Amino acid sequence: MRRGLRRRCPQCGEGRIFNGYLSIYDECPVCQESLRGIRTDDAAPWATILLVGHLAAPIVPIAVKFDIATVPLTILMVGWVLFLALSILPVMKGVFVGLNWRFNIRDGKPDIEIPTSISAKT
């Protein structure tokens, strides 16, 4: 998870995993570890919204206490929330790429083999 927080390859910790803002390389540019098929879907935005909500909420009681007008408060809140969301989203995506790599989840499915002795009885 630490390597994901730094947006680095989960295998070597050296190479970058993003080739843009949120686009994942097919493989690590340093160790050539395959990152193909690792998807985070809605996990990264969900965690980002959760964290941004908790970081933005303390502004409301402060605004009420100091009786800040609506327009400046709206500008402040929109700017703060956009800044937080845009800076936290790649970090959260890196975390979930690292977790999916660790548990070998590719294309949304764990890469496990089900024993043939376990089968549905019809």
Q: What is the pLDDT of residues 85-114, one digit of tens each?
A: 999 999 999 999 999 999 988 887 766 665
Whole-prediction pTM: 0.82
Helix H, strand E, coil C: the string for 23-65 is CECCECCCCCCECCCCCCCCHHHHHHHHHHHHHHCCHHHHHHH
Q: Kind and range of the H or E element at 76? A: helix 70-102
Report residue 116's pLDDT band, with 50, 70 and 90 as the boundaries.
Answer: low
Distance from CA of residue 56 to its chain's centroid? 18
Residue carrying structure tokens 């070597």: 12
pLDDT the model gives residue 106: 86
pLDDT the model gives residue 119: 53
pLDDT the model gives residue 109: 72
Q: What is the pLDDT of residues 20-73, one digit of tens each?
A: 999 999 999 999 999 999 988 899 999 999 999 999 999 989 998 999 999 999
pLDDT the model gives residue 92: 96
| Residue ranges per structural domain of the chain | 2-109
The pair of structure tokens assigned to 21 is 């803002």
